[in-house]
């Protein structure tokens, strides 16, 4: 039996094609994992119960979404937010890059207790990085003023469900 020898160019093109097909499949899979929300966007959401109400928070579940956050959105529905979930407690910094409206940043520890709130964070604070007062596992971003309206304060326990 005769052994075939492939040129390095053919091998390179084959590997590149495999990588591109794999990336296309991963992108398509990522979009189909979530469900379509009422605003036409794909993603996973959590129902978050606070002392004086509930909000629906999109989970920043991909690195790209976590980096972008609420940046570039013109506005956020009054009962919506974005939830960032980290693998372990830590001091995770946030900034207002490409933000078009002020927000409240709610810092939450691993036991779902609020450990701090930055209220009415202005878009003009960019490039300043805003840090939590203690290690956090969750960070919830909502429209400015909503944390106070919903009774969120340091020490409050929140409930989350998918």
Tell me which of 13 and 80 has the higher pLDDT.
Answer: 80
CATH assignment of 37-161?
2.60.120.1140
d(CA 114, CA 21): 43
Tens-place pLDDT, residues 22-76: 766 655 544 433 333 444 455 689 999 999 999 999 999 888 888 888 988 898 9
Is the per-residue pLDDT at 96 higher than 50? yes
Is the per-residue pLDDT at 150 higher than 90? yes
For the chain, which residues make up each domain, given as ranges?
37-161
Tens-place pLDDT, residues 78-95: 999 999 999 999 999 999
Structure tokens at 16: 């590149």
Contact 80, 140 (CB under 8 A): no
- Among 127, 112, 123, which Cα is nearest to 50's? 112
pLDDT at position 35: 34
Which single residue is written with the structure tokens 């709610």?
106
| Percent of the chain with pLDDT strictly greater than 90 | 60
Pairing between strand 80-90 and 53-59?
parallel
Which residues, 6+ apart, have CB-to-CB distance to 124 below 8 Å?
96
Residues 120-136, mean pLDDT to the nearest whole number? 96
Tens-place pLDDT, residues 129-142: 999 999 999 999 99
Tell me which of 143 and 7 has the higher pLDDT.
Answer: 143
pLDDT at position 65: 84
């Amino acid at each position: 039996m005769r052994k075939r020898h492939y040129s390095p160019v053919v091998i390179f093109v084959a590997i590149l094609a495999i990588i591109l097909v794999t990336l296309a499949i991963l992108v398509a899979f990522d979009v189909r994992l979530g469900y379509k929300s009422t605003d036409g966007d794909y993603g996973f959401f959590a129902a978050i119960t606070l002392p004086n109400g509930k909000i629906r928070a999109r989970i920043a579940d991909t690195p790209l979404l976590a980096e972008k956050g609420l940046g570039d959105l013109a506005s956020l529905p009054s009962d919506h937010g974005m939830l960032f979930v980290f693998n372990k407690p830590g001091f995770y910094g946030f900034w207002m890059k490409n933000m078009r409206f002020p927000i409240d940043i709610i810092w939450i520890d691993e036991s779902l207790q609020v450990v701090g709130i930055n209220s009415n964070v202005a878009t003009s604070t960019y490039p300043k990085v805003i840090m939590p007062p203690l290690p956090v596992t969750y960070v919830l971003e909502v429209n400015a003023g909503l944390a106070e309206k919903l009774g969120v304060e340091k020490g409050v326990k929140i409930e989350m469900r998918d």
